[in-house]
Each structure stands twice: as structure tokens, then as C-alpha cells.
Amino acid sequence: MAPPPLQTVLAAIDVGTNAVRLELARPDADGSLETLHQERDPIRPGEGVFASGMMPEETADRLLSTLRRYAALCRRHKARVRAVATSAMRDARNQQQIVQRVRDEAGLNLEVVSGKEEARLICLGVLHRKPPNVRSLLVDIGGGSTEVVLATGEKPDELWSLPMGSVRLTEMFDAAGKVTPKQLRLMRSYVEEQLRKAIPERLPGLPRMALGSSGTISAVVGFAASEGTAHASLRQLQSTVETLAEMTPERRRKRFDPRRADIIVAGATILERAARHLGVESIAAVNRGLRDGLLVDLLYRQDETREDHSLADAAVAMGRRLFFDEKHARQVTRLALTLFDELAALHNLPLSARPYLETAALLHDVGNAVSYERHHKHAYYLIHHGDIPGLADRERELVARVARYHQRSPPELNHSGMQGLSAAEARLVRKLATLLRIANALDGSHHQPIKELRATNGRDAVALHLKARQPVDLELWSAEREVALFRRVFGKRLTFHIGR
């Protein structure tokens, strides 16, 4: 792996339910990360959100004050920043107003990430540089949600996000103070029900020990574990839940940080029931999580030599849920990426745009799950509202626009579907959509007759050399209809040459 320049500083900002956190790090020559600065402000962004569905103005003001300070630190270090908000902001009906305030007042692009993207980032942070054949099971209990990941190496195989966290459960069952045996039974039953609905019970091939990555899990395991160990058995967790529930609130506050003490019973209950449901023998606390995943994600995004198939895997998983024509989708993707790679000097787009084209090509026809007519528009809607781990909100919007223009109306700058894009985004969508339209046309029959494609970029024309295993009359007829658009977008003629 070619490491990024040593002067690069990366910044991760995590707006959680309990606290807001900042970490600044610098990549070392070997690709590891050296922490330069960390901050944690326990301002409880999620306080009251789960009950009211809104973030109160005074909470938003506290959040903005913290983020303005974080942004100033990032600017001082000239850092590349990724800022995300999780469960509380996902639930807040006024999230768009707050995100806009953060943009206007702090100069930060705050992404409200999906539960699965949160799980993917936690996985990346905890399992970064894990040997590629090692299987891991990861549990993270936040204030508003619980994430569970089954992974091989650092790559997630399955991602689950449950809208059930220590703050949310505490508010739901009024468990900050004294917890009665009846309250505890109700909490345990509720957690079991949520787990059964979301995650298959006792998945085969699981490790005997799960990794727990949140502050809540560290506190619970630290309380439950035998002296000198960093893991707690299922039996110890069961005993701990009952012990914590029997404690008075005053005793809990003496044992834990006061804000943690209020939610510790709910957090312990989630951890114990999750361990039972998953069939693991013990939980080990690890001191890594979402912030680490954000930093690793930034590290990988700036390394253009690294191949990462996780986004394509997520797109294929979404396509399969919507019963897409996988052979056609993969053929169109192969052709589109060949065009992107061989015409790099013509389109002049950064390599970071390649995954957008790949994802759009894989998902361009998913709108057929709604209706064949206008399926390009349905594809836009499904991708725009979809859960595709690996894409930020704005990136998912660009992918949706590219897929929307794979047929019918061309991506002209004055078309209604191009509204809301910056000039640079509009150019990117226009170029990628044009390449996708050519690739889609070249499998117009959905029978994959083209076995090889080469593109040569001449002075006045681009020549596509096609090797076919059967007649391609429909493909050529479809592709010829895109020649005029290709010339408007790229300024060159497009010709086709058939061989065997």
C-alpha cells in the first residue's frame, strides 16, 4: 500500500447520543494512525429526542458551540474531516435544520449516517488490519442504537443495526433511578424481542468470544469481569445485570461516571441479552470504535491504489433484495468500468468517481422492482432512500442521479432532474451517466453477447472495439442512439467496430 503523505492530518467527528467526540490523527509510513489529539464533550445530543422526536433548541445550541470549536481545531491542523451523526440525529425530525446550521455556523458537512453505515465504520475501526481469514463478531451499544457485525478480516459479512440503545431503553422504561424486578423483566423481554426480529438466533460458525466496542460495554465488562481480565462470561453478565438493577442510583453514581450511571442498567441488559441471543460464551471490551473507523475510512479513501470491494458487495446485496437481473447488471458494470478506465484522459474525472459509476451500474435497473415503466425514476428513488454502507448521503445522491439517467431523458444541465447539483457535481453526473448509457446499450438484449470491449481515444473520435460471441444488432442500434449525447458531453464522435 502506498502511504499518503506524512503531513496529512485526518479528523473524525462523531455526534453520538451521549457525547460528541473529535479525534485528529496522522498516518504513519506503514499505514497505521498516530493520534494527535482527542476530545469528548458529554453534552447528550440525544437527550429527549427519542421521546419527543425533536432535538431541543438549547441542545442544538450546545452542539453547535462544540462543533464550532472542533472545526477551528481541524482548520488549524489543515485536516481532512469526516463528521457523522448517528442514532439521535437519525430520529430527530429537525435534523435538516441542524445539519444546515452546522454547515453555516461551523463550516462542517455533517452526515447523518444510516445504522448499517455506522456498523460498517465501527467494524472498520475495531478490525482494521485484522488477518484476512479471522472471523469476528462485534457488538456496539450506543445511546440510541445497537450495532452487530459478523466479519472476516476487517470486511463485514453481515451488518445489523437495531434502534435500541442505552439512553433510548432507559427513557422507554424509566430506568435511570431504582429498577424494580418487574421493570427488569420487561426490559429483558423487549430486548429479546428486538433481537429476534432483527438477527437470526445462534448463527453458525460464530466465534466463542464477541468483541464489545463502546464505552457502555467497557463499563459493564469492567464491572462484571474477574480481576485482571478484560472479558466477561455470559454468567457474569447475567449476575451483573441483576446486581446493577438492585443498586440504588446513589451507589451506581459512586461506581460509574454520573451520566453513565443513569443508563448502565439498560446498557448491561442489552449486552447480556445480545450475548445470549448470539450464543457466545463471553464478551471482551476493546478500546476502538466509530471514530477509529472514520479515520481508517478517510485513510482508505485517499489511497487511490487500494482496491475495496465492500461498496460493490453492498450494492449487489441491495440489488438481490430487489430481485435485479444480476447477469445484466454485472455485464453493464464491467463495460462501464472499462470505458471509465480506458477513457480516463477524455473524461478527466478523479479515480474517486469510479465507485459511483460502479454502484450506479450495478443498481441502474432496480426500479423494475416497482414498475418497468419509468423504472429509471424508480431506481433514483430506491437508491436515494436506500441503505448502502460505504456511501455518504451526498455520494448516494450522486449515484442515484447517475442511475436515473441510464435511459430516457439525457442528463442535460437544464433538465429538472439535474437541479440542486453544484457545477462540479453536474459535470460528474453528466459524464458518468453518459458512460453508463453506452454500457447499458451494449447489453440491450440482456444476453451479454459482448465478451470484450476496448476503447481507443483518437484526435476526433473514440473507437469502441467489440468482440462478440453472437450477433449484436440490438446492441449497436441502442448504442447508436447515444452517439449524439456522447459528442455533446465529450466533444468527440463515437464509432463501433465488431470482431470475433
pLDDT tens across 423-444, in order? 999 999 999 999 999 999 999 9
Cα 452 vs. chain centroid, distance in angstroms?
33
Q: Does 308 or 144 have the greater pLDDT score? A: 144
CB atoms within 10 A of CB 78: 10
DSSP SS3 for 292? helix
Within 8 A by CB and 6+ apart from 210, the residues are 137, 138, 139, 275, 278, 280, 282, 283, 284
Paired residues of 466 in beta bridges: 453, 498
As a whole number of angstroms, the distance between CA 248 and CA 179 comes to: 8
Domain 116-293 fold: Nucleotidyltransferase; domain 5 (3.30.420)
What DSSP assignment string belongs to 58-83? HHHHHHHHHHHHHHHHHHHTT-EEEE
Q: Could you give the residue range(s) of every CATH 3.30.420.40 domain in the chain?
A: 10-113
Q: What pLDDT shows up at residue 7?
A: 57
Q: Which overall architecture, per CATH, does domain 10-113 show? A: 2-Layer Sandwich (3.30)
Q: Write down the pLDDT at residue 306.
A: 63
What the block records as the C-alpha cell of 16 is 453520538
The reported pLDDT for the residue numbered 1 is 46
- Give CA–CA dist 194/163, Å, rounded: 9
Lowest average pLDDT, out of 25-34, 144-153, 296-305, goes to 296-305
- In the predicted model, what is the mean pLDDT of residues 117-141? 95
Q: Candidates 1.10.3210.10, 1.10.460.10, 3.90.1150.10, 1.10.760.10; correct CATH number of 304-498?
A: 1.10.3210.10
Is residue 301's pLDDT more than 90?
no
pLDDT in tens, 169-209: 999 999 999 999 999 999 999 999 999 999 998 777 889 99
- Mean pLDDT, to the nearest integer, of 60-71? 97
| pLDDT (0 to 100) of residue 303 | 73
Could you tell me where in the chain the CATH 3.30.420.150 domains are found? 116-293
Per the prediction, the chain carries an average pLDDT of: 93
Q: Are 109 and 282 in contact (CB under 8 A)?
A: no
Where along the chain do the CATH 1.10.3210.10 domains lie? 304-498
204-237 in b/e form (b: 16+ CB < 10 A) is eeebebbbbbbbbbbbbbebbbeeeeebbbbebb
Q: How many Cα atoms occupy the beta-carbon half-sphere of 440 within 13 Å?
A: 25
State the average pLDDT over residues 136-163: 95
Of all residues in the chain, the percent with pLDDT exceeding 90 is: 87
Taking the CA atoms of 289, 294, 298 and 301 in sequence, report the sign of the dihedral they define: positive
| Residue 147: count of CB within 10 angstroms of its CB | 28
Task: Report the candidate in 56, 77, 66 with the shortest Cα–Cα distance to residue 102.
Answer: 66
- Mean of the pLDDT values across residues 284-294? 96
Q: Which three cell numbers stand for residue 258?
A: 454520573
Is residue 5 very low, low, confident or very high in pLDDT (cuts 50, 70, 90)? very low
Residue 108: pLDDT over 60: yes
pLDDT at residue 389 in the model? 87
CB atoms closer than 10 angstroms to residue 57: 11
Whole-prediction pTM: 0.81
